């Protein structure tokens, strides 16, 4: 019993470390794509375009857009988790911090490796924070919410969202290029790979002992009363959230 109880805080600590390490790395990898200057991921194109338009830093723009997207969850009755809310703030802060630390990259010979590093680290970050199971990011939740509300496929909904985001960001001055195409092709396989790498073991079930309702050995088993058995129902509005 004590062994199982001791494992639970350790399991939660590891999940929290994965969550915040993944979100921080996600922001840092997005900043590397900015410094490479060869094209950003779809939402990054929009963030950069809005940053160019408003003069606000790209990290702060990312936070504002994330908060607005999160508000769109309300009419769809989506429930955010800890990872959802943390995603809004941590990614943007990490992005601005990395941009302040990493200077401009000159020359194609340096920019290509920085672009590739940014894409790979983005895949690592995705695997880390999704495997922590604290809820989807606001943009992913928008996709799944629209899928549920409209009945359209995930593929169609995601494609429509990202095309709209890229086109809008590009028209506002966001960076669209080879990095955008390479990201679109590589992020799926990379995320799948690193989800397997960082997958957490399921928490051990609590040790079971003899139930106080179980009759002692040799005792007669009581006969249940005739008629249909009552069915327990959860309270109205209760939902099972990701653990």
Q: Compute mean pLDDT per 10 residues along the chain, 243 residues long, and list them.
A: 56 93 97 96 95 95 96 90 94 96 91 96 93 89 88 87 93 93 91 89 57 47 45 38 35
Residues 6+ apart with CB under 8 A from 206: 1, 4
Task: Give this prediction's pTM.
Answer: 0.78
User: H-type helices in the chain, by residue range?
Assistant: 2-36, 42-54, 58-71, 73-76, 82-101, 108-131, 138-150, 154-171, 178-197
What local confidence, expressed as pLDDT, does residue 203 receive? 62
Quote the CA–CA distance of 82 and 137 in Å, as a whole number. 10
CB distance 47 to 176 below 8 Å = no
What local confidence, expressed as pLDDT, does residue 230 receive? 42
What local confidence, expressed as pLDDT, does residue 36 receive? 95
What local confidence, expressed as pLDDT, does residue 143 receive? 87
Largest CA distance in the chain: 84
What local confidence, expressed as pLDDT, does residue 78 receive? 85
What local confidence, expressed as pLDDT, does residue 71 receive? 94
What local confidence, expressed as pLDDT, does residue 77 receive? 86
> 73 φ, ψ to 5°?
-70, -25
Q: Which of 27, 18, 25 is nearest to 63 (CA)?
A: 27
Query: Between helices 2-36 and 58-71, what is the axis angle to 10°?
Result: 120
Quote the CA–CA distance of 180 and 114 in Å, as a whole number. 14
Q: Which of 105, 94, 113, 111 is nearest to 31 (CA)?
A: 94
Q: Which of 161, 68, 175 is nearest to 118 (CA)?
A: 175
Residues 6+ apart with CB under 8 A from 121: 25, 28, 29, 32
Quote the CA–CA distance of 152 and 155 in Å, as a whole number. 8
């Amino acid at each position: 019993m004590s062994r199982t109880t001791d494992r639970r805080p350790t399991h939660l600590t590891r999940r929290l470390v994965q969550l915040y390490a993944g979100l921080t790395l996600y922001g840092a990898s997005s900043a590397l794509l900015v410094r490479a200057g060869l094209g950003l991921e779809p939402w990054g194109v929009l963030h950069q375009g809005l940053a160019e338009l408003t003069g606000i830093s790209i990290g702060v723009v990312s936070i504002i857009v994330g908060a607005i997207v999160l508000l769109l969850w309300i009419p769809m009755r989506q429930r955010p988790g800890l990872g959802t809310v943390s995603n809004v703030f941590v990614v943007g802060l990490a992005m601005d911090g990395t941009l302040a630390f990493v200077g401009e990259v000159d020359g194609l010979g340096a920019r290509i490796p920085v672009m590739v590093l940014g894409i790979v680290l983005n895949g690592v970050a995705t695997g880390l924070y999704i495997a922590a199971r604290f809820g989807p990011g606001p943009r992913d939740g928008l996709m799944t919410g629209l899928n549920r509300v409209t009945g359209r496929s995930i593929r169609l909904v995601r494609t429509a969202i990202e095309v709209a985001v890229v086109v809008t960001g590009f028209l506002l001055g966001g960076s669209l290029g080879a990095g955008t195409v390479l990201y679109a092709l590589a992020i799926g396989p990379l995320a799948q790979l690193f989800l397997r790498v960082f997958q957490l073991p399921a928490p051990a079930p609590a040790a079971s002992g003899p139930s106080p309702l179980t009759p002692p050995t040799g005792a007669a088993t009581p006969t249940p009363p005739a008629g249909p058995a009552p069915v327990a129902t959860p309270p109205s509005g209760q939902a099972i959230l990701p653990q």
